[in-house]
């Protein structure tokens, strides 16, 4: 039999013992200042969106000021609705604010009513003595209004939110211009009137889609800011049932918190700004899937850190029990250390008998919560019976103290001399054993 004995811990029983010993660390979501920081960032995002939309609307209304009286009333109504949409953004909980789809339906209804009014007017001018002249005048006015509306839409992000539509309408506008030159303008009234309304509809659609995108972007950024702020303020959390003890979450998750925060920061960078490549569907996915996924990962990281801290404490307690048990066998404590000086790593204790034989006991982590014990005997006489009895006695002591260990097993090898060199153990990296 060799001088290396393994004593394994029943992992399922060990996990149960840890759970019974105390609650694990949990994410704190009501920390002082956290909600205020999130609210302030949220308001800044919404104010930015509102400023962007107001600037856009000012630009559009300036361009539409050249419209004729025939169309100005309809566009003024659209402008009022769009400004109300922008003004309501500062309160995402505003349940009375119209959705983009609701506003689109209202605009469609208003446009249909306006078209019907124009049609009635066209029908009446046919009965007038100067009906053809009046129809020609209206056709030319609609054509000019269509050109104004085309130029306004061309300054909007139409290729992003309605790709290809303006190109088709541009061709129709060119065709309408030729028709007005080649035949009496009155015959083109219906064509140019419909062309104008299609351009007007495109204008409203692009602005509505942009508003919806910007609002969704603000909500997505708020969700990302919330989980990032929660992560930063939970970098250290108290350990329940261990008064005064705190957990450095990043340290005890081997950099897991830093990795999560970096990922959130990169996602936030991509989602920020008017030129963000994300679609509205991708932004909604951040709100409904990505950010909640980050929240779940943060919960897991904090819980993992708590488990590892509790497991390290159990290992330290177990090491003390081993030292006491060996003292009963006539060994005197010499020194102890942690591998690389890291409490997450294995604990080593060295004891010496009056006959100069030494024992080194390693209490090492096994996964996040498991534990494995090695008893390394350095005996000149190499008494196999004494070595076996020593390991069995340790197992019995640990079981009496509530540590669910099995029977000691022989590793079949003699311990290497460097395994008793604690300076070397303190200096070496984990995993180099």
Report whether 34 contacts 230 (CB < 8 A).
yes
pLDDT for res 49:
82
Q: Can you tell me the distance from the alpha carbon of 55 to that of 70, in angstroms, rounded to the nearest whole number?
A: 26
As a whole number, mean pLDDT of residues 160-182 equals 94
CA distances from 136 to 184, 189, 195, 200 (A): 7, 7, 16, 21
Q: Can you tell me the distance from the alpha carbon of 173 to that of 152, in angstroms, rounded to the nearest whole number?
A: 14
Report whether 37 contacts 403 (CB < 8 A).
no
pLDDT category of residue 292 using cuts at 50, 70 and 90: very high
Q: Which helix (H) or strand (E) holds 309?
A: helix 291-328
pLDDT for res 15:
63
pLDDT category of residue 12 using cuts at 50, 70 and 90: low
DSSP state of 346: -
Buried b (16+ CB within 10 A) or exposed e, 103-120: bbeebeebbeebeeebee
Report whether 252 contacts 308 (CB < 8 A).
yes
pLDDT for res 134:
83
pLDDT for res 261:
97
Q: Can you tell me the distance from the alpha carbon of 4 to that of 378, in angstroms, rounded to the nearest whole number?
A: 9
Answer yes or no: is pLDDT of 382 > 60. no
pLDDT for res 260:
98
Every domain of the chain and the residues it spans = 4-16+311-427, 34-221
Report whether 195 contacts 172 (CB < 8 A).
yes
pLDDT for res 99:
59
Tens of pLDDT along 90-133?
A: 554 444 455 556 666 766 676 676 666 555 545 554 444 356 78
Tens of pLDDT along 134-150?
A: 888 888 999 999 999 99
Q: Which of 193, 160, 184, 199 is nearest to 60 (CA)?
A: 199
Q: Which CATH number fits domain 4-16+311-427: 3.50.50.60, 3.30.160.110, 3.20.20.140, 3.20.20.150?
A: 3.30.160.110
pLDDT for res 144:
95
pLDDT for res 418:
82
- 5 or 160, greater pLDDT: 160
Displacement of CA 68 from its chain's centroid (Å): 49
Per mean pLDDT, which range of 108-112, 160-164, 351-355, 357-361 is the poorest?
A: 108-112
Q: What is the DSSP string of 4-41?
A: EEEEEB-HHHHHHHHHHH-PPP---S--TTHHHHHHHH
Distinct helix (H) and strand (E) counts, the chain = 14, 8
Q: Which of 210, 180, 197 is nearest to 59 (CA)?
A: 210
What is the overall mean pLDDT for the chain?
82
pLDDT category of residue 188 using cuts at 50, 70 and 90: confident
Q: Can you tell me the distance from the alpha carbon of 70 to that of 171, in angstroms, rounded to the nearest whole number?
A: 23
pLDDT for res 146:
95
Question: Of 42-56, 116-130, 194-208, 229-243, where does the model show the most confidence?
Answer: 194-208
Q: What share of the chain is helix, strand, coil (3-state, %, to 5)?
A: 65, 10, 25
pLDDT for res 170:
96
Report whether 65 contacts 149 (CB < 8 A).
no
Q: Which of 5, 2, 3 is nearest to 374 (CA)?
A: 5
Q: Can you tell me the distance from the alpha carbon of 19 to that of 120, in angstroms, rounded to the nearest whole number?
A: 80
pLDDT for res 173:
95
Per mean pLDDT, which range of 155-159, 170-174, 276-280, 427-431 is the poorest?
A: 427-431
Q: Quick check: pTM over 0.75?
A: yes
């Amino acid at each position: 039999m060799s001088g290396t004995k393994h004593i394994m811990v029943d992992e399922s029983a060990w996990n149960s013992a840890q759970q019974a010993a105390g609650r694990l660390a949990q994410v704190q979501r009501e920390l002082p200042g956290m909600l205020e920081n999130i609210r302030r960032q949220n308001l800044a995002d919404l104010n930015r969106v509102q400023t962007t939309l107001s600037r856009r609307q000012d630009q559009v209304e300036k361009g539409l000021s050249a419209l004729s009286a025939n169309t100005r009333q309809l566009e003024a109504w659209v402008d009022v609705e769009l400004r109300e949409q922008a003004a309501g953004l500062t309160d995402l909980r505003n349940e009375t604010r119209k959705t983009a789809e609701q506003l689109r339906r209202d605009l469609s209804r208003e446009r249909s009513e306006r078209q019907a009014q124009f049609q009635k007017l066209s029908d009446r001018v046919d009965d007038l003595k100067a009906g053809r002249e009046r129809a020609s005048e209206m056709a030319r006015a609609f054509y000019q209004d269509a050109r104004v509306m085309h130029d306004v839409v061309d300054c909007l992000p139409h290729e992003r939110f309605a790709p290809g539509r303006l190109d088709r309408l541009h061709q129709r506008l060119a065709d309408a211009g030729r028709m007005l030159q080649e035949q009496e303008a009155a015959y083109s009234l219906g064509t140019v009137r419909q062309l104008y309304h299609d351009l007007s509809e495109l204008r409203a659609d692009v602005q509505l889609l942009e508003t919806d995108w910007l609002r969704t972007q603000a909500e997505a950024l708020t969700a990302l800011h919330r989980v990032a702020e929660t992560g930063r303020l939970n970098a250290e959390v108290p350990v329940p049932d261990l008064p005064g003890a705190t957990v450095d979450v990043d340290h005890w998750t081997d950099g897991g918190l830093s990795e999560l925060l970096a990922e959130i920061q990169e996602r936030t960078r991509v989602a920020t700004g008017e030129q963000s490549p994300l679609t509205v569907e991708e932004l909604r996915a951040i709100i409904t899937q990505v950010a909640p996924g980050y929240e779940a990962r943060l919960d897991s990281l904090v819980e993992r850190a708590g488990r590892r801290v509790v497991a390290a404490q159990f290992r330290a307690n177990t090491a003390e029990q081993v030292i006491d048990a060996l003292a009963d066998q006539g060994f005197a404590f010499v020194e102890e250390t942690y591998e690389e000086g890291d409490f997450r790593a294995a604990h080593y204790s060295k004891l010496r008998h009056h006959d100069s034989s030494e024992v080194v006991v390693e209490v090492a982590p096994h996964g996040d919560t498991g534990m494995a014990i090695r008893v390394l005997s350095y005996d000149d006489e190499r008494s196999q019976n004494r070595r076996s009895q020593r390991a069995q006695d340790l197992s019995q002591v640990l079981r009496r103290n509530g540590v669910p260990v099995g029977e000691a097993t022989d590793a079949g090898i003699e311990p290497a001399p460097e395994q008793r060199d604690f300076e070397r153990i303190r200096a070496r990296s984990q995993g180099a054993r």
